Amino acid sequence: MATIETHRTPVIARAADGSATSQKLQRTWDGKPGLGGWLSTVDHKEIGKRYIVTAFIFLLIGGLEALAMRVQLARPNQTLLTPEQYNQLFTMHGVTMIFLYALPVLSGFSNYLWPLLLGSRDMAFPRLNALSYWVFLFAGIFLYCSFPLGKAPNDGWFNYVPYASLAYNPGPNIDVYALGMVLLGISTTVGSINFVVTLARTRAPGMSLNRVPILVWGTVTASVGNLFAVPAVSLAFFLLWMDRQAGAHFFDSTAGGQPLLWQHLFWMFGHPWVYAIVLPAMGIVSDGLPVLCRRPLVGYTAVALSTVTTMVLGFGVWVHHMFATGLPILSLSYFSAASMTIVIPSAVAVFAWIATIWTGRPVFTTAFLFFTGFVLLFVIGGVSGFMTAAVPVDWQLTRTYFVVAHLHYVIIGINVFPVVGGIYFWFPKATGRLMNEAFGKWTFWVMFIGFNVAFFPMHILGLLGMPRRTYTYADNLGWGTPNLIVTIGAFVFGLGIMLFLVNAFVSLRHGRPAGPNPWDASSLEWSTSSPPPVYNFAVIPMVASRYPLWENRLDDGPDRSSVGTGLVLDKERETIGTSVLDAEPDVILKMPGDSYLPLLVAVAMTAVFTCMLLHSWWGAGIAAVATFLGSVGWLWPRRALAQIET
């Protein structure tokens, strides 16, 4: 065998899709056909799409649970659901939406888009990427495994002890939640590592940190946040499982444990997590909206910095979820102030978006409607959040429907609306076809009106004193009419989501062909074909500004990016590695090909957790050995990856 090359000077040439170079790339990068290819692919575009589709399926499941609750609450004294069923429904609704929809859907966007935005051929760890998807999928199924038995998690998504302790909750409900969350944490963690390393190491030459799109800032901030925060929740759930199944006493006040420890660990995680599920979505808007306003984002640097600042502050405010637990007044004041300062970076972003719309020439596409709708909801959610950051108000409103209203304004406003807008925006890139615009605008109004009809009256219900997590109410309290309105709004909102999905399905086949750059946008993903070829870019572009495709038009400075001409890396699977700050090329990276190992390792890991749930310690041991062997096979040094030379 020929010896492995140790150094090479990359060739710079011109090549487009369809050229000889690209045909060679197509052969090297193309996966196996059929089911085998489907199960073994490590292509970030496939994985990204899967993430999005899977997350939407969970959104639908969570939505059905919500509608069941809303039917129950539409009138006073209904008996459609028992209290226990209601408990499981709101818990699974929260768990599904927060953990199985909100972050995964954004991971999907970022997985799909990052290498295209960054001018690269894949994520830094393609196989790890596949692993993170499979583990997410299996953890989602795991969390639902006891649902058909009527034994689903039932203590709310934040699962406070002591109600989650064995003495009060002897069934498998909470164990499923605890183990499922530890498993899901593995997926989130490896996914986050992948994003951070991808940003640090695999940008196109010249794409210095101050030139990356805001979505990249949002996702990397969320990922770093996750790396710091997820261990807290995984640990909390693990300790709870130890309490329940091994007889430990962490949360057991009769043996020196502290129920409040749960709340600390949970919210150390929970608050940064709230930002993790909104910052990438804000990034979607910060990148999409300016294109539709025909101008660069106003205040790029300010928005990028505010993204990072939000997360840093997010770690300081976990205690604000516990205002009602009797902490010392001084620390309450501190955390209240910190919660309020977090408004400042958010306000920076809001002003940047408004200024972009104001000074731009908006094109009123469906995506534009969703993005501006988001800005509006963001402001409303921000105000009600600011109110609960004030300690006295929080004491009054916590545990009422006011909180339910706030939370849905924030999460649906900042996550669902940008996500739907983002799909309208990038659908043509991913599929080669545009979604239907006229229908899309109708969909927007149905969703927007339905949403407000569903959730605005909840503020009023909260002020009228209706508690959250209540499965029914008496008819002399005056809550009947607002509740009926809420339920009707919920169905209208659900209808809007369905219309959106119909549009996507129909457009997939019958949409207008899009061409590479239907919105005349500025970033690198729009320079390649729609849908992009497996290898993304025939040559790796070289970047000289923040808006590589708008340079001639903006005309600031003499530097020009080079997009059709770039690095030819066509020996096996390759991409360029660049330095962290300035993106100077410093290595030619060999990329792994398709592999079944991520799937197998994910199956083995899931088996470990399933066996733990069933108390089958031997089974868990065997599955752990399988996980280990799979990992060794995965990491075995390979010539093809130039990990060894002999």
Partner 1 sequence: MAETFIHNRQLPVGSQGHLASGWWGMLMLIATEAMLFAYLLFSYFYLASHALSPWPPNGPPSLRIAVPGTLILIAGSVVMWWGERGIERGKTRRLIVGLSLALVLGVLFLVLQGSEWKGEPFTLRTNVYGSLYFTITGFHMFHVIVGLLVLAVLLVWAARGDFDANRHSAASIGVIYWHFVTIVWLAVFFTFYIAPRLG
Residues within window 468-527 making contact with partner 1, judged by CB under 8 A: none
Residues 6+ apart with CB under 8 A from 74: 483, 484, 487
Out of 256, 326, 328, 557, the residue judged to bind partner 1 by CB under 8 A: 256
Tokens of 481: 């009419």
Near ligand HEM in 49-78, by CB under 6 A: 63, 66, 69-70
Residues 6+ apart with CB under 8 A from 643: 637
Minimum CB–partner distance for residue 598 and partner 1 (Å): 14
**Kind of pairing between the strands at 11-14 and 562-568:** antiparallel
Q: Is residue 404 at the binding interface for ligand HEM, with CB under 6 A as the rule?
A: yes
Near partner 1 in 173-232, by CB under 8 A: 189, 192-194, 196-197, 200-202, 205-206, 227-232
Q: Is residue 469 at the binding interface for ligand HEM, with CB under 6 A as the rule?
A: yes
In this structure, are residues 88 and 533 in contact, taking their beta carbons and an 8 Å threshold?
Answer: no
Out of 29, 112, 114, 125, the residue judged to bind partner 1 by CB under 8 A: 125
3-state secondary structure 529-585: CCCCCCCCCCCEEECCCCCHHHHHHHCCCCCCCEEEEEEECCCCCEEEEECCCCCCE
Residue 77's binding partner out of ligand HEM, partner 1, none, with CB under 5 to 8 Å set by partner kind? none
Between 13 and 64, whose beta carbon lies closer to ligand HEM? 64
Between 232 and 274, whose beta carbon lies closer to partner 1? 232
572 closest CA partner among 123, 44, 28: 28
Out of 92, 268, 319, 446, the residue judged to bind partner 1 by CB under 8 A: 268
x-marked contacts with ligand HEM along 422-461 as a string, rule CB under 6 A = --------------------------------x-------
Task: Report helix angle 126-143 to 597-613, nearest 10.
Answer: 30
How many residues are given for the chain? 646
Tokens of 179: 């183990």
Between 97 and 377, whose beta carbon lies closer to ligand HEM? 97
**Residue entry with tokens 């768990």:** 95
Residue 250's binding partner out of partner 1, ligand HEM, none, with CB under 5 to 8 Å set by partner kind? partner 1
Out of 44, 45, 50, 93, the residue judged to bind ligand HEM by CB under 6 A: 93
Tokens of 79: 């008996």
Between 16 and 324, whose beta carbon lies closer to ligand HEM? 324
Q: What 3-state DSSP class applies to 285?
A: helix
144 closest CA partner among 107, 185, 180, 169: 180
**CA–CA separation, 216 and 433 (whole Å):** 25
Residue 397 one-letter amino acid: L
93 closest CA partner among 410, 422, 469: 469
CB atoms within 10 A of CB 646: 7
Query: What are the angstrom distances between the C-alpha of 437 and each of 416, 441, 526?
Result: 19, 6, 20
Minimum CB–partner distance for residue 74 and partner 1 (Å): 43
Residue 404's binding partner out of ligand HEM, partner 1, none, with CB under 5 to 8 Å set by partner kind? ligand HEM
Near partner 1 in 282-321, by CB under 8 A: none
Near ligand HEM in 477-516, by CB under 6 A: 490, 493-494
Near partner 1 in 344-403, by CB under 8 A: none
**Residue entry with tokens 């109410």:** 473
**CA–CA separation, 340 and 325 (whole Å):** 19
Tokens of 41: 């692919």
Phi, psi of 591 (to 5 degrees): -105, 140
Q: Is residue 90 at the binding interface for ligand HEM, with CB under 6 A as the rule?
A: yes
**CA–CA separation, 271 and 323 (whole Å):** 14
Query: What are the angstrom distances between the C-alpha of 22 and each of 74, 204, 536, 619?
Result: 59, 18, 10, 48
Residue 412's binding partner out of partner 1, ligand HEM, none, with CB under 5 to 8 Å set by partner kind? ligand HEM
Residue 408's binding partner out of ligand HEM, partner 1, none, with CB under 5 to 8 Å set by partner kind? ligand HEM
Out of 249, 294, 441, 469, the residue judged to bind partner 1 by CB under 8 A: 249
**CA–CA separation, 338 and 199 (whole Å):** 30
Near ligand HEM in 140-159, by CB under 6 A: 156-157
Between 307 and 562, whose beta carbon lies closer to partner 1? 562
Residue 3's binding partner out of ligand HEM, partner 1, none, with CB under 5 to 8 Å set by partner kind? none
Near partner 1 in 541-570, by CB under 8 A: 542-544, 559-562, 565-567
Out of 588, 600, 604, 613, the residue judged to bind partner 1 by CB under 8 A: 588
Residue 459 one-letter amino acid: H
**CA–CA separation, 354 and 83 (whole Å):** 45
Shortest Cβ contact with ligand HEM: which residue? 94
**CA–CA separation, 368 and 347 (whole Å):** 20
Between 147 and 228, whose beta carbon lies closer to partner 1? 228
Between 35 and 632, whose beta carbon lies closer to partner 1? 632
Q: Is residue 411 at the binding interface for ligand HEM, with CB under 6 A as the rule?
A: yes
Between 245 and 470, whose beta carbon lies closer to ligand HEM? 470
Tokens of 527: 């320079």
Near partner 1 in 85-124, by CB under 8 A: 124
Q: Is residue 239 at the binding interface for partner 1, with CB under 8 A as the rule?
A: yes
In this chain, which stretch among 76-84, 90-98, 163-171, 283-291 interacts with ligand HEM, using CB under 6 A?
90-98
Out of 166, 242, 488, 626, the residue judged to bind partner 1 by CB under 8 A: 242
Residue 70 one-letter amino acid: R
Q: What 3-state DSSP class applies to 565?
A: strand
Minimum CB–partner distance for residue 156 and ligand HEM (Å): 3
Q: What 3-state DSSP class applies to 557?
A: coil
Q: Give the interface with ligand HEM as residue ranges (CB under 6 A).
A: 63, 66, 69-70, 90-91, 93-94, 97-98, 101-102, 156-157, 404, 407-408, 411-412, 415-416, 454, 468-469, 490, 493-494
